[in-house]
Structures are given as C-alpha cells and as structure tokens.
A and B are shown apart, each in its own frame.
Chain A
Amino acid sequence: MGMRRNGQLTAYLYFLHENRNQQVVRMIGKILGWFRKIFGKRKDLNLGIYGSPNVGKTTLANRICVDLTGESMGTVSPIPHETRKVQKKENMTLKFRGFRLMMNLLDMPGIAVKVDYRDFLEHGLSREDAQKRAREATRGVVDAVKSMDKVDAALFIIDATEDPYTQVNITIIGNIEARNIPVIVVANKIDLPNANTKRVRDAFPNYDFVELSAMTGENLEQLYSHIADKLS
C-alpha cells in the first residue's frame, strides 16, 4: 500500500516537474517572441538607383558609398552598360541633421529598350565580347525592371544634358509611381556646360527634384536632405 502511495507521489511529482518544464519552455518562447517583435521588425530600407545607361547612376552610387562608408561600389566606364548586374551595398547609415537611416543601396543596370552589340564595337570591343556584353546588359535590364518590386524608395537619375522626354524615362517613372515607391528625380551632370536642369524639372514637375553633379559632388547635401525629408 505504502509502495503504491509512494509510486503515485513520484508520478505526481514527475507530472509537476514536466509541467514546470513546459511552463519554462513556454515562458522562454514568449520572451523570444517579444525580442523578435522589438528587434525583428527592424528592416533596412532598400534605396534603388534607376535610369537609362550612362546617366551617372554608378558614379552617384560610388559618391554616396564613399560619403557613408568610405568605400566605392562599382566601376564606371564610357562604354554603355558597364553595370550589368544589380550591385548592392548593405547596411549603410545616413546621418543627416539628426536624421539617421539604415539602408541598402542598390545600383541598377541601365534600363534600355534596345541593346545593340554594334554600339559596343565602336568602343573597340571584339564582336564576340560585344555580343556577350549585349546579352549581359539585356539580362541586367530585365533584373532592374524586376527589382522594382523589391525597393522601398528610388532615385531616378536623368542626364541633364540629354532630352528627358524619352520612352524609357516615362516608362521607368510610370512603373515607380504605379508601385507607390517614393522617388526623387535627380538631374545629374550639372557640371557640364550644356546641362539643362529646367528641362528635366519641367518634364517631371510633380516629383521631388534635385540637380547635382555626381562627378564633382556638387549639391549632394541637397540630395541627402531630400532623402531625409522623404523617408523620415
């Protein structure tokens, strides 16, 4: 009889012990959940740089990268479609007049509706290399278009020395707008004598607008101010 009672007590204590363990496990799970809620929601912002080829996207990306991290991002070249893959620089911190923003910078390949390998032949590339570059550039265009679904904000770069009323420009801004992505229109290359920023501003009057030179760094502070204003 005594042994039976003893056995029941052992089973009861074992039950309590098991129950306690489950409670502890549940409590730890809850605490981890709180931590996840507090810290897990922190999502870095993806800032995409879009535009036609050779408008200065990588030059600007390099400038921003050097300013914020001290390192450059990609290579620039007078040959169109130098950037043929989406370049990503992660965990950059923009600190501007008390504003602090963690972001990933995405330098997109230039978007074009036609990629002709013969254009590269003029820059001294062999036929084979030119055809390879054309194929990679086209893939880059596809990647850039598809990545519009992944960015949280966009810089839309336009060469201020060129006509802004192009099919590509209108389509890019239309796609960004349709996705409700906050966008800043950037008229680049103001260091060049034939730059016409008024024409760019008139072409896209309803957007935040910055004119700058990615090459010299002129007006870059203004861009940071717009980013801070737009994304704060």
Chain B
Amino acid sequence: MHKCVRCGRAAASLEEIDSGCPCGSKAFVFGRYEPDLAGGNGKAEGSPQQYNAHISFASEDVENIKVLSEGVFVLNVKGLSRDPMVLKDEDGIYYVKIPFEQRMDGNKPEGNGKMKGEGAKKKE
C-alpha cells in the first residue's frame, strides 16, 4: 500500500495517489504495511490483524494449511512445497491430499508392477 511521506496516512485509492494526500503532499511511498481497516487501530473484526496474533506454524505442526474459520485459511508455503498438502480444520481434524504421481513418459502403466525392462524380457 502507499503511504504519504509527510503524514503517514495510507492512500485510500488510486485517485488519492493521483490527486495527492489531504495534507497537501503528493509524495507517497509503497511498502508492506498493515491495512488500516478499522479506523487506524488495526483491530477490526474479521480483519487479517485479528488472526495475526495467533497464526503461526510451530515446528511440531504437521499441517501446512490451517482453517481458522469458514473461508479463512493460513498457508505454510514452505511446507506446501516440501510435503503433501495437509489441512487442519477448525475442529482439529487433519485432511491429507496424497499426491498422485504421474508417469513422466506419459505412458499408461502396464499394471504388472515389474521392474523396468523386466516385462520386455518375458515377452521374448
């Protein structure tokens, strides 16, 4: 979001950045600031700040997606890139999405479970 360099007020819209801050300044700086959704205190009901206090992935956590409430998720992107998708819902129940490995050669599995080349030998 863009903040005014003079008064620190967050720009409410693109038009405001274009026309300038009410304080008179036309200079804004972009940064990762917490959105001011509740009149500046950042504690609005349902806002991301409400959850920030207790959202974290501990080392013992096996889930890489937490469901905090209906429609509110927290992702552990690092965990998702490493492990299968594990979701923990608000009741503490785990759901695991077992990845289905596709054959890289695009061939349909033969269904014999033999080692590579073994089937060919048998056909001879």
Interface residues of A (CB under 8 A from B): 111-118, 131, 134-135, 137-139, 141-142, 145-146, 148, 168, 171-172, 174-184, 206-208, 230
Task: Identify A207's interface contact among B62, B102, B111, CB under 8 A.
Answer: B111
Q: Is the CB of A177 within 8 A of B113?
A: yes
Residues of B in contact (CB 8 Å), total: 27
Evaluate whether A138 and B102 lie within 8 angstroms (CB atoms) in the complex, with A180-B115, A206-B111 already known.
no
Q: Is the CB of A115 within 8 A of B84?
A: no
Interface residues of B (CB under 8 A from A): 60-63, 83-84, 86, 92-103, 109-116
Chain A hits for B112, CB < 8 A:
206-207
Binding site of A, secondary structure by majority: helix, strand, loop or mixed? helix
Q: Is the CB of B62 within 8 A of A139?
A: yes
Chain B hits for A118, CB < 8 A:
93
CB distance from B51 to the nearest CB of A (A): 21
Q: Is the CB of B94 within 8 A of A138?
A: yes
- The answer for the CA separation of A141 and B62 in the assembled complex, in Å, is 10
Residue in A131, A148, A178 whose Cβ sees the most chain B Cβ within 10 Å = A178
Query: In the complex, what residue of chain B is closest to A182 when comparing beta carbons?
Result: B113
Task: Identify B101's interface contact among A131, A134, A179, CB under 8 A.
Answer: A179
